[in-house]
Chains A and B, each alone.
Chain A
């Protein structure tokens, strides 16, 4: 009997968050200014999911991790030069826009379609991972929709921890209102888990791990299928960066306590 998990992590790239992200109107709808030229990083939430997956796989012999990424092929390749060094995984690349303005329904369809085509995937051992949100689009629905398409009905959102019991039961901590956790148990895979931040630090780069991953990375990138994202899913009335609110009051000789009180009042609104 097979042991271990088959963990599929859905995650892609977002522009490096230190960059100036300026919405512009592109020929096919809203976009970010110079988006293709900006350096990209793995979406932080997807990153947490990937690191948790690798950690889980390392603890359970026979497990395997796939990273299913929908993004521009050339950008994905650059991203892999850093991500592939962190943990072992096999890449399933889908060529298409990773913009925050794509329709999550279409994205989920593309991801689910790619997952269904993974030849060695054992769906009975499948843990579907992803981020509960994204740095480029905070709809928080993609993992759920991919799960639905794959027929996975046990879904956990905003998870921070998964423990595997001796009998294979999974105990999942999900974030709920007010800083509380909802603790759930599920008898085992298949299930979908959309991660919040998890508990693990980002693993350091290790080019030796990267070299191992490269054996499957490049072939995957080369044969990446183009995803049909029509951009017809919704209409954007307007797009803008959240405004920074800055109120400056020039005063002299104000005692510290009074300053602190002022700031607290301002925060309270």
Chain B
């Protein structure tokens, strides 16, 4: 029986914009009251002091001003700074923090992402210590980074993460470093004293940092390889915060190009070191540290861009509705007075696209953060098991994991099989108990979700932010645009760039999306969507499933196909093939997670009495919004795949004539044509969904005014 099937009378309309109850269900934190409090706390800071600072013009300076510095104190007072720190060091939230940091970033970026970055950058500076630091390093720097408690007389420490250097090196390839560490002094039986030279570029929080976690390479035969090392502002030597970066985005955060030439004790090497044959061997290279860091921190900026899109909905609706009010001859009670530009389908349809993109991005970003919250324990369990086998990191571990890929694929397949035999269930239970397999599956998924979120949320998000700006007309590119939409547009561009620009994410995806364990999971997603489509035919899940099947086929085809000149299509250097395919996948992955979140809302929403009054309209609207976005994502993915599958073939006939042997020419891609036809046919109803959602958009109740100043 269809729950939300085809036309059967006027659908219920969305009554109000989605509030906290809705978000808590969709993003799965309805039972985490600590997170809900952090959200409220961050929101009060964002829509209070942060918004007032933006409205006052605090962004209009590259310098680190008192107004900007005052926001850090607001973060401290509201518990935002300490939220990232474990309770043993003075924080107050138990367990992993990826998701809650995502919530914080969402709330701050709702108003100004530069404020979000200021808060995040401190966490980023601590991340190398958190992930790979020695117990002593963790205890010292984490505890110093927590705001003083009542009765404590100390200054809070703030950090900066210094990886990027002046061009031409880092920023293009983080594997190459110009920063150097040398042995300055090493007396017999004493700890070595090191000299660090590092010139940073685009280093966030540098205006307020008391310490820096810096990536450097060895400049001395007595030090092996690269490392990350902690520098303090009171270390002897040069601590030059450098000139402010003249960036056009995120101006509420401090970004500078610092210069360091400092003497530091060797115990500042993050993760410690050993001495072997008179050579200092850091326990972790800088690459190992930053891999661990970026695995966990890249999801957050992706959430920031999605927050901007969702924050744009209310001001755009208000602007559209009131567009003609006050004009001569536009009288109260007339459609032009009451609905303004919302009388026009274009205004409604375009805003729905913005809204859907924001929802899909948030769904993907938060799912990624939730997955990362499971990562630490899973990784530790895997390492413990491998250690019992005498395997500890490096190539030996890679080899051991590779040997288990077949088991991992079997586990995923068994997991998707709803009709397992007794023998299969026993095998499934056996595999499920293996921490190594659990890690492999989680890692294969996270290494697709993280770059997908970073790539799609920010890249496509900025494009959609431009749409939102354009919907405000000339007002959109003024400083006093309600909701600061113009500044959010350009801020989004920085989110697409920092912590690894789009090309880095495409590069990573081009590798990880072809791993068999991921592809196995991808197929279970398709099967899941088919089930969803049967039960909820109006969600567009069938469209998404068809597009995913098409992508899957295209990837398989391209992985062995050659171009008209006999060159491999799917190869390391063939960015023209692998990168667009990664783009297509990111569309699909984001939309898949929107489907899952809306299903969660459908399942749990009716249980919440606060939503009872409007649950029908809410579900109806989100169903339609998902349908709209599934159709868009399917269209984008299909277009990309078609170009790749057909674009590298020889031109077989003139464009203005039909060849006689078409069937023969395209025999090898006949499955693609069939799959594409299936996608096209599955689009039935998607525009009707848009019309229905438009009706909601033109009736939804919004507050009288925005809840933060302009």
Binding site for B on A (CB under 8 A): 16, 18-20, 33-39, 72-75, 78, 81-82, 84-85, 204-208, 210-211, 214, 217-218
- For B, the interface residue count at a CB cutoff of 8 angstroms equals 35
- What are 6 pairs between A and B in contact, CB < 8 Å? A20-B702, A39-B19, A205-B79, A207-B38, A211-B34, A211-B37
Q: Which chain B residues border A207 with CB–CB below 8 Å?
A: 34, 37-38, 41, 78-79, 83, 92
For the complex of A and B, the 6 pairs showing the least CB-CB separation, nearest first, are A205-B41, A82-B40, A207-B79, A74-B610, A210-B37, A81-B36
Report the bound CA distance from A82 to B39 in whole Å: 9
For window 56-102 of chain B, which residues contact chain A by CB distance below 8 Å? 74, 77-79, 82-83, 92
Residue of B nearest to A95 (CB): B609
Of A75, A78, A205, A217, chain B has the most CB atoms within 10 Å of the CB of: A205
A205 contacts B19, CB within 8 Å?
no
- Chain B nearest CB: distance from A40 CB in Å? 9
Q: Which chain A residues border B612 with CB–CB below 8 Å?
A: 36
Binding site for A on B (CB under 8 A): 15-16, 19-21, 33-34, 36-41, 44-45, 74, 77-79, 82-83, 92, 608-614, 701-705, 707
Q: Which chain A residues border B40 with CB–CB below 8 Å?
A: 81-82, 85, 205
Of B78, B92, B610, B707, chain A has the most CB atoms within 10 Å of the CB of: B610
Report the bound CA distance from A74 to B82 in whole Å: 29
B609 contacts A38, CB within 8 Å?
no
Report the bound CA distance from A33 to B16 in whole Å: 10
- Chain A nearest CB: distance from B1 CB in Å? 28
Q: How many A-B residue pairs have CB under 8 A?
A: 102
Report the bound CA distance from A218 to B36 in whole Å: 13
- Chain A nearest CB: distance from B679 CB in Å? 36
B705 contacts A20, CB within 8 Å?
no
Q: Which chain A residues border B610 with CB–CB below 8 Å?
A: 36-37, 72, 74-75, 78
Report the bound CA distance from A60 to B702 in whole Å: 44
Report the bound CA distance from A68 to B203 in whole Å: 50
Residue of A nearest to B610 (CB): A74
B703 contacts A20, CB within 8 Å?
yes
A74 contacts B703, CB within 8 Å?
no
Report the bound CA distance from A37 to B16 in whole Å: 7
A72 contacts B79, CB within 8 Å?
no
Q: Which chain B residues border A208 with CB–CB below 8 Å?
A: 79, 82, 92
Report the bound CA distance from A33 to B699 in whole Å: 13
Q: Which chain A residues border B41 with CB–CB below 8 Å?
A: 82, 85, 205-207, 210
**Given A38-B16, A39-B20, A205-B44, A19–B609 Cβ distance below 8 Å?**
no
Report the bound CA distance from A204 to B19 in whole Å: 22
B37 contacts A81, CB within 8 Å?
yes
Q: Which chain B residues border A206 with CB–CB below 8 Å?
A: 41, 77-79
B613 contacts A218, CB within 8 Å?
no
- Chain B nearest CB: distance from A181 CB in Å? 31
Residue of B nearest to A217 (CB): B33
Q: Which chain B residues border A39 with CB–CB below 8 Å?
A: 19-20
Residue of A nearest to B36 (CB): A81
**Given A20-B703, A210-B37, A74–B79 Cβ distance below 8 Å?**
no
A84 contacts B15, CB within 8 Å?
no
Report the bound CA distance from A211 to B612 in whole Å: 28
**Given A81-B37, A85-B41, A211-B92, A18–B16 Cβ distance below 8 Å?**
no
Report the bound CA distance from A110 to B3 in whole Å: 41
A218 contacts B33, CB within 8 Å?
yes
B701 contacts A33, CB within 8 Å?
yes
- Chain A nearest CB: distance from B315 CB in Å? 13
Q: Which chain B residues border A20 with CB–CB below 8 Å?
A: 701-704
A18 contacts B704, CB within 8 Å?
yes
A37 contacts B44, CB within 8 Å?
no
Q: Which chain A residues border B19 with CB–CB below 8 Å?
A: 37-39
